[in-house]
């Protein structure tokens, strides 16, 4: 069985596209991300993805476990999910009119053996947004469960332009890279 160590609806949707008719389960990881201390965002993201996967893989040693983590990096600062309205407003004001990176890392485990991992980076530009536009977007409720306080796939978020990488990396699971790795490992055809 293939297990996605996540409860993210976006990651589940992307994995369904990759696996087509191959069944899989979603089991959220109990990994405590605060255990990881790393200054480099790419290394931090990978270590958190690995930690999430290993926790689930230990309980399911015969299964293939896919875990992922996504971080928004702006001027050396990691922007996680906003704590509240003011935090989301601050993040979107900072990102407005600027370019930033979205780092997504994933790991593939079978038991405690890591079969593959990868770190994929996308670059995104967010157009200059007036406070009224930010408030309208915040009123949708969508930004509060997303790193950086935005969802590039949201129909109400019309302010972004992908400069490097793709939508899947930004949404939290690099579809093309993961599919290549699953085929290369013989997990899917």
| CB neighbour class for 36 (10 Å; exposed up to 12, middle 13-18, buried from 19) | middle
pLDDT in tens, 122-137: 999 999 999 999 999 9
**pLDDT score for 147:** 87
Four-point Cα dihedral 164, 165, 168, 172, nearest 10: -90
Whole-number average pLDDT of the chain: 94
Q: Sorting pLDDT into bands at 50, 70 and 90, what band is 77? A: confident
Is residue 84 predicted with pLDDT exceeding 90?
Answer: yes
Active site residues: 69
pLDDT in tens, 174-187: 999 999 999 999 99
Mean pLDDT across the stretch 74-84? Answer: 90
Nearest-angstrom CA–CA distance, 74 and 161: 16
CATH numeric code, 2-184: 3.90.950.10
Q: Do 29 and 5 meet the contact criterion of CB atoms below 8 Å apart?
A: yes
Nearest-angstrom CA–CA distance, 148 and 3: 27
The domain segmentation of the chain, as residue ranges, is 2-184
């Amino acid at each position: 069985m293939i297990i996605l160590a996540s409860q993210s609806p976006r990651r589940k949707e992307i994995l369904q596209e990759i696996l087509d008719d191959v069944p899989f389960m979603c089991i959220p990881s109990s990994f405590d991300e605060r255990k990881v201390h790393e200054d480099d965002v790419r290394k931090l993201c990978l270590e958190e993805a690995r930690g999430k996967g290993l926790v689930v893989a230990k309980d399911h040693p015969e299964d293939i476990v896919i875990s992922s983590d996504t971080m928004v990096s702006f001027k050396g600062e990691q922007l996680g999910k906003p704590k509240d309205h003011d935090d989301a407003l601050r993040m979107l004001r900072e990102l407005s009119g600027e370019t930033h990176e979205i780092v997504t890392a994933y790991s593939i485990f079978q038991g405690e053996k890591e079969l593959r991992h990868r770190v994929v980076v996308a670059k995104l530009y967010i157009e200059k947004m007036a406070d009224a536009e930010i408030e309208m977007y915040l009123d949708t409720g969508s930004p509060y469960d997303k790193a950086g306080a935005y969802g590039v796939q949201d129909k109400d978020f019309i302010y972004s332009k992908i400069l490097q990488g793709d939508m899947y990396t930004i949404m939290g699971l690099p579809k093309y890279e993961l599919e290549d790795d699953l085929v290369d490992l013989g997990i899917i055809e």
